[in-house]
Homo-oligomer: A and B are copies of this chain.
Amino acid sequence: MSRDAAVLWLAPMHPLAEGVLAHEMRACARAMRVIDDRRPDASAILKDLFPHTGRATVVGITGNPGAGKSTLTDRLIEVFRKEGKQVGIIAVDPSSPYSGGAILGDRIRMQRHATDPGVFIRSVATRGHMGGLSRSARDMVRVLDAYGCDVVLVETVGVGQDELEITRTAHTTLVVMAPGLGDEVQAIKAGLMECADVFAVNKADKDGADSTVRDLELMIALGKDTMIAAGNQRGHTVHGRAAGLGTSFEKNSEVWTPPIQKCIAARGEGIAELAAHLDRHREWTQNTESGRARKRLRLGEEVRESLREALIEAASERLSDELDLAVARVERREVDPYSAIEQLVALFKSR
């Protein structure tokens, strides 16, 4: 028996992974559920699928709720479908006893694509801890990638830190804004400027659209200078001399300047142009050293973040009694939390 055959025999593929690779929609849905619920099989499925990933273009879509993100996503799906592409959508929902249907309701219009076999829509809910959500989103993207989606759109509800983490799992982050919402200022405060690769100024027929575009241009120019000054310290991959205020990827430069695309999603205007910007950004990540460096950086972040999660999971499992005991002791002020943690880390390592 050859070595490869032995390996295959030792590790047969998980049936759900097989189904996903055979482009079976039902297997894909089931695999995603196993992963979202973090059932024991999740890891085996993901390991089997990983070698078949890396082909899809992954776009994170974020922006304030009033900006018309869902309508715009819906229109982007339309454009990609016309190009004959398979599209996957991961709709990230905060699970709150207050939200429930209200927010999902916004997304009902997307459901018109649900009967199209070339479109796969799946919601992911926030699971308790924050890190968990971006991990789930990333793993789901991998399933859709292996399943055969050409494009995977990851749409978030708001623009919080959690959402920013999620957009970091994408190749390209699209930030959707609308005039008159004060989004520009919010965007700065939320740290959106650093993560945006492409801007869409939606509802461009409304008053103030031009001034939103001008504000963004100014902030992009300002931010570029700041980032260049800050250099690699901040982990930014944008470097070199800023190439003016141009809103496009310049062939002779490695610098990516986020383009700003005006559109009216409700009427489908500007959407094809937006899709083209997304394509060009994907190209940039593949064909420039800066783009590749960014990909490496994000992969490193993923591994570190996953390690963090794996360690705490292993620790919670092995130390659950001791953890409860430590909490009770800290509560009774018999020990300070800092010493308690040191003792728990030592205990974890000794088991």
Chain A residues with a Cβ under 8 A of chain B = 43, 46-47, 50-51, 54, 65-66, 94, 96-100, 102-103, 130, 157-163, 165, 182, 185-186, 188-191, 193-194, 219, 222-223, 226-227, 230, 234, 295-296, 299-300, 302-304, 306-308, 310-312, 314-316, 323-324, 326-327, 330-331, 333, 336-342, 344-345, 348-349, 351
* Chain B proximity of A139: nearest CB distance (Å): 9
Min CB–CB distance A101 → chain B (angstroms): 12
Closest Cβ–Cβ distance, residue A284 to chain B (whole Å):
18
Chain B's closest residue to A319 (CB) is B307
Chain B residues closer than 8 Å to A186, beta-carbon distance? 65, 158
> Which residues of chain B come closer than 8 Å to A165, judged between CB atoms?
130
In the complex, the answer to whether B98 meets A226 with C-beta atoms within 8 Å is: yes
Q: A65-B185, A186-B65 are in contact. Are A327 and B311 (CB under 8 A)?
A: no
Known contacts A94-B191, A300-B324, A311-B345; 5 additional CB pairs below 8 A are A47-B336, A296-B327, A299-B327, A307-B315, A311-B312
Of the candidates B47, B302, B326, the one whose C-beta lies within 8 Å of that of A339 is: B47
Within the assembled complex, what's the spacing in Å between the Cα atoms of A130 and B165? Answer: 9
Q: Return the contact of A98 from the options B99, B193, B315 (Cβ within 8 A).
A: B193
Residue numbers in B under 8 Å from A312 (CB-CB)? 304, 307-308, 311
- Contact partners of A193 in chain B: CB under 8 A: 96, 98
Are A336 and B194 in contact, with the CB atoms below 8 A? Answer: no
Residues on B with C-beta less than 8 A from A51 are 333, 336
* CB <8 Å contact, A230 and B97: yes
- Which 9 pairs show the lowest CB-CB distances between chains A and B? A160-B160, A50-B336, A97-B226, A161-B162, A311-B311, A308-B312, A300-B327, A160-B161, A98-B188
Indicate if the CB atoms of B299 and A189 lie closer than 8 Å: no
Contacts of A43 in B (CB 8 A): 338, 342
Contact, CB under 8 Å: B333 / A54 = yes
Our pick among B96, B163, B324 for the contact of A194 (Cβ within 8 Å) is B96
**Neighbouring B residues of A66 by C-beta, 8 Å:** 182
Residues of chain B with a CB closer than 8 A to A189's CB? 65, 94, 96, 99, 103, 157-158
- Beyond A98-B194, A160-B159, A338-B50, whether A331 also contacts B296 by CB under 8 A is yes
Q: How far is the CA of A46 from the CA of B326 in the complex (A)?
A: 17
